[in-house]
Chains A and B, each alone.
Chain A
Amino acid sequence: AQSVTQPDIHITVSEGASLELRCNYSYGATPYLFWYVQSPGQGLQLLLKYFSGDTLVQGIKGFEAEFKRSQSSFNLRKPSVHWSDAAEYFCAVGDSSASKIIFGSGTRLSIRP
């Protein structure tokens, strides 16, 4: 069965610093991978997705993610974070058998002024 692990529960970075959020997945074939962001009390917004092709995926708000099959990872990166990036970030993988998304447990990002 597919699964997603986000090993970091909470990360704090300084404004202007670079960011990397980790995501590892378990899946037999080529996975469909997603990163979503959720601001407090809000719904989820799709940041980027990987279906196939180029393993470096560009998303909205200056985020990118790299699919590494050898490491079963899909880490999210941003070169310089802004205070408005403080939010909960969810990595997700598409269930191969149904129109379902399997979410990781989330990583809460705090920004230090």
Chain B
Amino acid sequence: DTEVTQTPKHLVMGMTNKKSLKCEQHMGHRAMYWYKQKAKKPPELMFVYSYEKLSINESVPSRFSPECPNSSLLNLHLHALQPEDSALYLCASSQGSGLPKGHEQYFGPGTRLTVT
């Protein structure tokens, strides 16, 4: 199984809402990632979890809160978002966080988020 799944596929939320994005992998990977992708742009790294611990936070605003409940699951909790946060949110996983295996990342299909 080489699949990373993400739910929901689409999400529309108001600026005062609280919602969560979910990501799951069953490849035994020990590193998981959140990316944000705006239209016609490459993905931008947000967070990296390695062995269920947050290892990289790319100065992401606190209205985005990641959580890694176990080695297979990764959540992104959203609160008080702004319209400019509308984007495709991609989850990825890799075998480990060391080099080079940490670079070989497998992506999910993404959640299309619209903030109104």
Contacts and interface: CB of A to CB of B under 8 A. Distances in A.
Contacts of A80: none
A56 interface: no
B66 interface: no
A99 B53 CA distance: 14
Given A43-B4, A43-B90, A101 B103 contact: yes
Contacts of B97: 99
Interface string A79-113: 00000000000101011101111011110100000
Given A99-B50, A99-B94, A43 B110 contact: yes
A63 B66 CA distance: 35
Interface size class of B (residues with CB under 8 A): 20 to 34
A95 B109 CA distance: 24
Contacts of B48: 98-100
A103 B43 contact: yes
Interface in A22-42: 32, 34, 36, 41-42
A46 interface: yes
A64 to B, nearest CB: 18
A46 B43 CA distance: 14
Given A99-B50, A100-B45, A104-B42, A32 B100 contact: yes
A99 to B, nearest CB: 3
B103 A44 contact: no
Nearest to A93: B103
A99 B109 CA distance: 21
Nearest to B48: A99
Interface of A: 32, 34, 36, 41-46, 49, 51, 90, 92, 94-96, 98-101, 103-106, 108
13 contacts: A34-B104, A42-B110, A43-B107, A46-B105, A49-B104, A98-B48, A99-B98, A99-B99, A99-B102, A101-B103, A104-B42, A105-B41, A105-B42
